Amino acid sequence: MKWRLWHGRVDRAIRDLGQLLERVIYLRGGGEFSVARLHSLGSQLLTYIRSNRGAIINYGKRYRAGLRVATTLAESAVNSLVGKRMVKKQQMRWSPHGAHMLMQVRTADLNGELRDRLRAPFRQPEPNVPPLLKPRPPLLRAA
């Protein structure tokens, strides 16, 4: 699986992982915890790969082209920016969500996308709530 993902063969990785999970289902009949855990983690990995199919980088191709493959710069930025604030002894700590949002901003800045993203109009994401359960303004309720 790792080799297929490293070399950009995402569709084959999805197919092979799906087949592997089908085989593991037959082993689950014994009720072993480790087999159930393997199936659970494999399913999560399959969902992740499917969801991020378009963003998975072909590192083999980058390596052969002489481009940077290592993530040490990103890891260093994470350690320096977040590490100090996430320590338990700190008076003011960041939540994991806050740290994630900071990394989104930092990544956009490093990629040169921050200015364009800040100029784009803000749109509130629509929650997946059925229309019957959406809150209504008080004046509409009274009418």
For 107-129, the pLDDT digits (tens) are: 888 888 888 888 887 666 656 65
12-69 residue pLDDT tens:
999 999 999 988 877 766 566 788 888 889 999 999 999 988 888 888 888 888 887 7
Least confident of 30-39, 86-95, 96-105: 86-95
Query: Who contacts 27 (Cβ-Cβ below 8 Å, separation ≥6)?
Result: 35
Q: Where are the domains of the chain?
A: 2-61, 70-119
More confident residue, 117 or 88: 117
Q: Is the dihedral of CA 73, 74, 75, 80 positive or negative?
A: positive
Q: What is the mean pLDDT of residues 86-100?
A: 70
pTM: 0.49
Q: How confident is the model at residue 143 (pLDDT cuts 50, 70, 90)?
A: very low
Encoded tokens for 87: 């320590």
The pLDDT value recorded for residue 131 is 56
